[in-house]
Amino acid sequence: MDDRFPRPDRAGFGYRLVSAARPHPSAGGRAGPVVTAANANPLVAVIATGGTIASERAGNGASAPSLTGESLLAFLPDMPIDLRPIELMAKDSASLTLADMQDISDKVGELLDDAAVSGIVILHGTDAMEETALLVHLQHGLNKPVVFTGAQFTADHPKADGPANLAAAVTAVTDPVNAARGVLVCFGGRLLPAWGLYKHSSDVADAFRQSRPLENPPSMRLAAALDSVRIDVVAIYPGCDSVHVDASLRADAHGIVLAALGSGNANPRLVEAVRRCVDVGVPVVVSSRVPDGLLVSSYGGGGGGHDLADAGAVHSSTLRPGQARIVLAALIASGASAELVEQAFADFAANAIP
């Protein structure tokens, strides 16, 4: 499937800002004025959460979110679409907590239930976009398109990419066909499913790729709030010991994701640490610091992926550490047993596209 996405055509479109605000039925998030055209057009809700797209550089050189969702809509080209800005939060996504991500997912859920809304765009920072987008995908069955977007460059940068990304995302959510693709990310000219997404560059406009797509990415309807769940990610490196895994256990982590080497390998000390976790009911998921490719637990030698699996670890064949963490958190919040966690990740492997 071609994931390139055309820029919207500006010709012949027109919209205006209506001074009276249309109240949003939800309690959270401020609903701004509706940007609307003179004729009846699709209504797109635009949830502002902060990120680089809403940031400007201060005199000291530091960038921080400062623009509202409503002000960002002023950068759009003329389009035959009604727009409802919703000011939910203004954070750099590196500062987001699972509670913040849950708030975003809850807001999307409210808008999915709003029959007047045709599509939903979420403005989000790129550092954690892959995590929040996957959480929304896991928690909701879509009856309308949901698309995340953001920017690599601040709004006052000479190469500001936010307006083009926003315009493409708004266009994408007006196509009902995109609801069947699950939650999407529209960025740098690409329209990508949230499943398997990772940020591959910190300084180019085309910032995202997929590690390994699935034939039919599951929306698991794991609706339980995960803001009270703690899942730690532990980095594995040559010569590492089990100190960080043991620290996570002492901190009462509900689960651990290993950002392992290669196809999901570690060393004998980590194998023993995995056994200790499993013995006390803390699931361990093995992912990899390698960004692309199918992860297979095939190596032995005392610390390879096969040995980790024998110790009770669950292999994440398609998802990298950040997204594996979100899936594990959602499963644990929903009360999944160790067997169900293992089966879920096995099903992902079975549906991976070769």
Tell me which residues are annotated as active site: 52
Report the Cα 281 to chain-centroid distance in Å.
Answer: 27
- C-alpha distance from residue 97 to each of 82, 131, 256, 285, 287 (Å): 31, 11, 17, 20, 21
Structure token pair of residue 258: 């290993």
The burial of 182, by beta-carbon neighbours within 10 Å (0-12 exposed, 13-18 middle, 19 or more buried), is given as buried
Question: Which single residue is written with the structure tokens 């200790």?
Answer: 276
Number of Cα atoms under 13 Å in the Cβ half of residue 41:
24
Count the residues in the chain. 354
List, in order, residues 6 or more apart from 304 with CB less than 8 Å away.
265, 266, 297, 298
Report the Cα 228 to chain-centroid distance in Å.
Answer: 19
Question: Which single residue is written with the structure tokens 């994440």?
Answer: 316
